Amino acid sequence: MAAPVQANPWRLARFPVPQFSGYTSHFGWRANDSSPHRGLDIAAPLGSPVLSWWGGRVERLIDDESCGIGLAIRSGSYEHLYCHLQGSVEDGLLRSGAVELRRGSRVKTGQPLGAIGVSGRSSGPHLHWGVKLKNRWLDPLVVLRAMVARESLKRPFLRPDLRVTGSEYAVRRRRDRDVRFASGHRR
């Protein structure tokens, strides 16, 4: 007898940066760092939208030297972190682009959270996206691979031009057919 088909837990998830242009720094240890990089840096044009990966509740607003302007969202056992946004945090209110959020605000999957910025420790416009499961940091690329592996690439949660090639992600830009790999190599 065949095993029952399990529902896809990722089918409603959204890639957080619709105007994605490449990965600039990966999860884990980097040269000359005293601690691991606990997220994935996703480059995009300054001011482009940042979307909630999953629905949940705003757990905290951030305005510090490292993350810059950002927020953390709790979705059950998951916490997802969004750093280097444009805007400000004042009087318990995050203002980024046209978005205003408070601690405790409910957010839906795919809801705008703010705009790509360069706040905090940042060398250019990007989103630092971190994912925790039960207080343990996960490699966001592993999460993205699971999303892609369990669902057709034609689904709206992920850009249709995102492809998985072995252990690397490639993005084919329709306009110029340039292929950029997450490792920084070009073909």
Answer yes or no: is pLDDT of 148 > 90.
no
Mean model confidence pLDDT for the chain: 77
Answer yes or no: is pLDDT of 111 > 90.
yes
- For the chain, the residue count is 187
CA angle 101, 104, 108 (to 5 degrees): 65
Cβ neighbours around 151 below 10 Å, total: 16
DSSP string covering 75-93, please?
ETTEEEEEEEESSEEETTE
Taking the CA of residue 15 as centre, how many other CA atoms within 13 Å lie in the half-sphere pointing to its CB? Answer: 26
* Annotated domain spans of the chain: 22-154
Q: Are 14 and 159 in contact (CB under 8 A)?
A: no
Q: Where does residue 154 fall: left (phi above 0), alpha (psi -120 to 50 degrees), or beta otherwise?
A: alpha
The whole-number average pLDDT for the span 78-102 is 95
Confidence tier at 11 by pLDDT (50, 70, 90): low
More confident residue, 21 or 95: 95
Integer Cα distance of 21 and 1 in angstroms: 45
Give the dihedral of Cα atoms 111, 129, 101, 53; nearest 10 deg.
20
User: 22-154: which CATH topology?
Assistant: Glucose Permease (Domain IIA) (2.70.70)
